[in-house]
Amino acid sequence: MNKIFTVVAAFAVAIASMTSYVTADEAKRGGTLRAALAQTPRHLNPAVQSGIVTGFPGAQLFATPIRYDENWNPQPYLAKSWDVSDDGLTVTLHLQENAVFHDGVPIKSSDIAFSLETIKANHPFKTMFAPVIEVQTPDEHTAVLKLSQPHPALFLAMSSQLMSIIPEHVYGDGQDPKSHPQNSNNVVGSGPFKLVEFVPDEHVIVERFDDFFMENRPYLDRIVMRIIKDPAARTIALENGEIQFSAFESIARNINRMKENSNLTVTPEGYAAIGPLDWLAFNTAEGKTSDVRVRQAIAYAIDKNFILNAIMLGTAQDARTGIYPGGPNYEPNVETYDLDIDKANQILDDAGYAKGSDGMRFALTVDFGWPGMKDRAEYTKAALKKIGIDVTVRASADFPTWAKRISTHDFDMTWDTVFNWGDPVIGVHRTYQSSNIKKGVIWSNTQQYSNPEVDALMEEAGKETDQAKRTALYSKMQKIIADELPLYPTNTLPYHTVFSNDVGGAPLGIWATSSPMDMTYLK
């Protein structure tokens, strides 16, 4: 154990020294960054459109009350400082006095209140601001958030793209904010860059907002985000320099090819808060997978190393729980189900699932939510054959087809990718809460897992403001879940940020490109 720790520590030191080396360059003003987006955003208003695609332009156009550094520490942004009352029920934000929207109108505390109300009503992540009862605005530069219970998740929820501050004088005109015409055109934002042009399926162009409240920021004059959906074409564009920057690259072969290019930096850093995980989810309410022994046997029969090395080609990290590794609430010491075919067979024998004359015990189906997961679904079939489970791989024509199947609980097992979205309250609880078993809603508790103890632990951790106590609660929860196995996490999604060597200050914090790129520059 000690040895592992030493290795990890040495590795961390090495990474840290590399990071300081990278940031040693002097930041320079000016220039246009040529970046890529892998999908077209629906529109550019993150207050009513979540997701990493809108996140990239959205976090440039809109500022949030706070931001985070790469070590999970909250930093001032639109709020230059904040106080939390001793009972944790009042959070006071002191706003920047010189902050203005892109149309020159000052950003006031009433805009904070308006933005929060809009997000509360229209954003799918309801848990972010559910405990916020009201936002008081004693003066133009002070916003007081009154809470019904202590809510430590609030700080991550006030960062990145999650609490974009939108102007009340634009979006408060009575139109539905979800389809407001100024979500795509003439966007009036609060962030370091303002919109030049958004052409769906072509590009988003933003340029420096000269009256941005942070002095000398941003460094870049412009960011041209070109929408290039084909991953192979994007790889070639990065290799030949047509594109200088791309985030969320996830195809192992392309990542490894770009790593060989000395003009490019390819790094998995920067995704800790987004927290994308791949897992095999089980239907815990119906069929053979409702038996915990069956789920455990399946986990023992799946070779994680095969997934990490043969399928992900070494680009992904080991994931053990539903919380992204490395974060403040992660518990690595859980049951890991290392490959053990004999044990898996033994468990099934003991549970009374005898092998038939064909060597098979019973049949199951496996789905997969994304085209890129087809090979691991095929692998699951091969792996489970060894323990006498006859698996049929069910392909879906597209995402809605799969979502319909899974959300209506018409499945045995499915491979899926789910994001943490910062705090466990936002992106983790939803997977296990028995109150969140909601037919028809994808990424609810579609496993239909129900354990009052886990519910209580999450409830308590959700309002625990002491981080050490909170970590202990989540640690216990992760251990129970690893034992009961409503899902078996295998790896982090190998998101990589790729940029050419003339790009400095790339967004490698915890929120990747869902954070302002005011510190990015061209060498």
Partner 1 sequence: MKLVFAVIQRVFYAAILLLAVIVLNFFMMHLAPGDIADSIAQTMGGADEEIMKEIRADYGLDKPFLTQLGQYIFKVAQFDLGYSYFYTQPVTTLILAKIPATLLLVITSQILALIVGVLLGVQSAKNPNGISSFVVSMLALFGYAAPVFWTGILLLIAFSLKIPIFPVAGMYDVMVEGSFFVEALDVLKHLVLPVVTLSSIFLALYSRLCRASMMEVLGSDYIRTAKAKGLSRNEIIYKHALKNALSPVITLAGLQLSAVVSGAVLVEAVYSWPGLGTLAFNSILSRDTPTILGILFFSSLVVIVGNLLTDLVLRLIDPRMRGSE
Q: Does 355 bind partner 1 (CB under 8 A)?
A: no
> C-beta of 60: minimal distance to partner 1 in Å?
16
Q: Does 400 bind partner 1 (CB under 8 A)?
A: yes
The continuous run of DSSP H or E covering 68 comes out as strand 66-68
> C-beta of 107: minimal distance to partner 1 in Å?
25
- How would you label 179-214 residue by residue, b for 16+ Cβ within 10 Å and e otherwise? ebebbbeebbbbbbbbbeebeeeebbbbbbbeebbb
Q: Quote the CA–CA distance of 124 and 145 in Å, as a whole number.
A: 20
Instruction: Give the footprint of partner 1 on residues 411-440 (CB under 8 A).
Output: 419, 421, 427, 430, 438, 440
> C-beta of 404: minimal distance to partner 1 in Å?
4
Q: How many residues bind partner 1 (CB under 8 A)?
A: 63
Q: Does 236 bind partner 1 (CB under 8 A)?
A: yes
Give which of 89, 164, 87 is closest to 125, Cα–Cα: 164
Backbone angle region of 409, left / alpha / beta, with phi > 0 → left and psi within -120 to 50 → alpha: left
Q: Does 275 bind partner 1 (CB under 8 A)?
A: no
- What letter does residue 312 receive in the DSSP assignment? S
- Phi, psi angles (nearest 5°) of residue 458: -65, -40
Q: Does 343 bind partner 1 (CB under 8 A)?
A: no
Which of 237, 297, 510, 519: binder of partner 1 (CB under 8 A)? 237
Nearer to partner 1, 183 or 475 (CB): 183
> C-beta of 274: minimal distance to partner 1 in Å?
9
Please check whether residue 394 is in contact with residue 266, taking contact to mean a CB–CB distance below 8 angstroms.
Answer: no
Query: Nearest 10 degrees: CA dihedral of 475, 479, 485, 491?
Result: 60
> C-beta of 378: minimal distance to partner 1 in Å?
22
Nearer to partner 1, 126 or 386 (CB): 126
Centroid of chain to Cα 318 = 16
Task: Write out the two tokens for 387.
Answer: 């323990």
DSSP string, 396-418: -SSHHHHHHHHHTT--SEEEEEE
> C-beta of 313: minimal distance to partner 1 in Å?
19
CA 253, 255, 257, 259 torsion: positive or negative?
A: negative
Helices (H), 130-270: 154-157, 168-171, 231-239, 252-259
Q: Does 253 bind partner 1 (CB under 8 A)?
A: no
CB atoms within 10 A of CB 348: 26
Q: Quote the CA–CA distance of 235 and 233 in Å, as a whole number.
A: 5
Task: Write out the two tokens for 179.
Answer: 């389809």
> C-beta of 474: minimal distance to partner 1 in Å?
20
Q: Of the ranges 78-86, 142-150, 179-187, 472-480, which one interacts with partner 1 (CB under 8 A)?
A: 179-187
> C-beta of 302: minimal distance to partner 1 in Å?
25
Angle at 377 between CA 425 and CA 289, to 5 degrees: 65
Rg (CA), the chain: 24
Nearer to partner 1, 130 or 334 (CB): 130
> C-beta of 246: minimal distance to partner 1 in Å?
12
Which of 184, 254, 345, 478: binder of partner 1 (CB under 8 A)? 184
Q: Does 9 bind partner 1 (CB under 8 A)?
A: no
Give which of 33, 31, 71, 38 is closest to 54, Cα–Cα: 38
Nearer to partner 1, 39 or 346 (CB): 39
Q: Of the ranges 133-141, 399-407, 447-455, 486-494, which one interacts with partner 1 (CB under 8 A)?
A: 399-407
> C-beta of 184: minimal distance to partner 1 in Å?
7
Look up residue 185 and give its amino acid: N
> C-beta of 498: minimal distance to partner 1 in Å?
14
Q: Does 54 bind partner 1 (CB under 8 A)?
A: yes
Instruction: Mark residues 196-235: x for contact with partner 1 by CB under 8 A, - for none.
Output: ---xxxxx-x------------------x-xxxxx-xxx-
Nearer to partner 1, 331 or 416 (CB): 416
Instruction: Mark residues 441-460: x for contact with partner 1 by CB under 8 A, - for none.
Output: xxxx----------------
> C-beta of 520: minimal distance to partner 1 in Å?
18
Residue with tokens 């070590």: 71
Instruction: Mark residues 93-132: x for contact with partner 1 by CB under 8 A, - for none.
Output: -----------------------------xxxxx------
Look up residue 456 and give its amino acid: A
Using CB under 8 A, list all residues that contact partner 1: 32, 34, 39-40, 42-43, 49-54, 122-126, 176, 178-179, 183-184, 199-203, 205, 224, 226-230, 232-234, 236-237, 239-240, 242-243, 397-405, 407, 419, 421, 427, 430, 438, 440-444
